[in-house]
Amino acid sequence: MKFKIDTKEKIVVFCPEEVALDANLSDDFITTATTLPELNGRNLILDMTLVEKTDEKGVEAILTVYQYMYDNKLSCALTGLNNTLTAALKEAGDDMLNIAPTMAEAIDLIMMEELERELLEGME
């Protein structure tokens, strides 16, 4: 799978460079996105700008990566989704997904959740 990553202080932006995220690429997508060495302790933004279509396995792969992040007490946001991908994810997932129309808004969502976690940890 071809992809581009951009590592920031608290965030890794993962951008698949594939037109279709389907059953053929779903396992590779999960493995690649969840084992990035840069991800260690950082939140994840999935920039799906170049992905034009997906199938059921592709949607499952996106949701698996998303859930993986939260299972590890980190955040995830999706950006760059076309209308078809947005509808498919909302149907398969739930309305609690962090879907942002722009990269700046995705970063804001991640940083707000990060701040929330820090504040909650400080209260314990």
Grouping H, G, I as helix, E, B as strand and the rest as coil, residue 3 is strand
* Residues 16 and 44: beta-carbon distance below 8 Å: no
Pick the CATH number of 3-123 from 3.50.50.60, 3.40.1440.10, 3.40.50.720, 3.30.750.24: 3.30.750.24
Number of C-beta neighbours around residue 54 at 10 A = 26
**Domain range summary for the chain, segments of one domain joined by +:** 3-123
Phi-psi region of 28 (alpha: psi -120 to 50; beta: other; left: phi over 0): alpha
Residue-by-residue pLDDT tens, the chain, 124 positions: 899 999 999 999 999 999 999 999 999 999 999 999 999 999 999 999 999 999 999 999 999 999 999 999 999 999 999 999 999 998 887 668 999 999 999 999 999 999 999 898 877 6
Distance (Å) of CA 75 to CA 38, 53, 97, 106: 15, 24, 10, 11
